[in-house]
Amino acid sequence: MSTTQSLINVLKAELKAAGLTYASLARELGLAESSVKRMFAKGEMPLSRVDEICRVLKTDFAELSRQVADAKALRHELTPEQEAAVVADPKLLLCAICVMSQWTFEQIVATYKVTEAECVARLVQLDRLGIIELRPMNRYRLHLTKTFRWRPDGPVMQYFRERVVGDYYSGGFDGEGEMLMLVHGQIGRSLAALFNERLQRVAQDFAQQHLADQKLPPEQKRPFTLIIGMRSWLFAAFRELKRNPAVMP
């Protein structure tokens, strides 16, 4: 990826984190929204325009440049040892999930029974584990890619299978905004990857909406957890009834 495209990607990420749309940025710059969209789509903007966007974002070009350089070092996954360290301490796991959702230090302390000292200590641990880069005033930068995932058979997913899955599915999924669907069928092997891509986009949309709604007052938000999965699988009771392919007519 070119440096220019990396800079554009960083600017887009900063706009999302700040809750700014192309329309709101256009108003700040005194431009038409279509001009801003075209500028980002083509990746063509003079340094003077970048400086103006930095002013709106309350940052500077040096900070953007550092983020561009750091982007190449973002993690796609952690090592088994790092994941084991995360699940060994419930409050560390809680803080890890919170920072992955871009919660602020203040939000974590106000929402959970974690003291400021405990939260600072966990953020320091997450920094040492390479999950975040801890900054002054307990601010941080996430060091994980958008495609980051816990290891399928790693310590964190094992923890969730043992302690979380049962609790999650014990609900009736009949509340406002809730849904549970089970769809079974046979599709071509080549189409499975396409469905996975669609599901990943749904997950990304959910994550981006979470970021966009961070500034909403608490009474206008509710916590939701989205779990998406797809695997080649047949319910155990059905597997027991299936004929041996070798003797099927």
> Average pLDDT, whole number, for the chain?
88
The pLDDT assigned to 73 comes to 65
> pLDDT over 70 for what percent of the chain?
95
Cα angle for residues 143, 145, 148 (degrees, 5° grid): 110
CA distances from residue 93 to 85, 101, 145 in whole angstroms, order as listed: 9, 13, 18
The residue-averaged pLDDT of 212-238 equals 88
The pLDDT assigned to 37 comes to 92
pLDDT digits (tens, 9 = 90+) for 8-27: 888 988 898 888 899 999 99
Structural contact between residues 19 and 215, judged by C-beta atoms closer than 8 angstroms: yes
Confidence of residue 70 (pLDDT cuts 50, 70, 90): low
> pLDDT over 90 for what percent of the chain?
51
pLDDT digits (tens, 9 = 90+) for 94-138: 999 999 988 999 999 999 999 999 999 999 999 999 899 899 999
Alpha carbon 100 to chain centroid, angstroms: 6
Decide if pLDDT at 249 tops 50.
Answer: no
Structural contact between residues 142 and 102, judged by C-beta atoms closer than 8 angstroms: yes
The residue-averaged pLDDT of 34-55 equals 89
Can you read off the two tokens belonging to residue 235?
């319910």
pLDDT digits (tens, 9 = 90+) for 147-201: 788 999 999 999 999 999 999 999 999 999 999 998 988 999 889 999 998 998 8
Confidence of residue 218 (pLDDT cuts 50, 70, 90): confident
Decide if pLDDT at 240 tops 90.
Answer: no
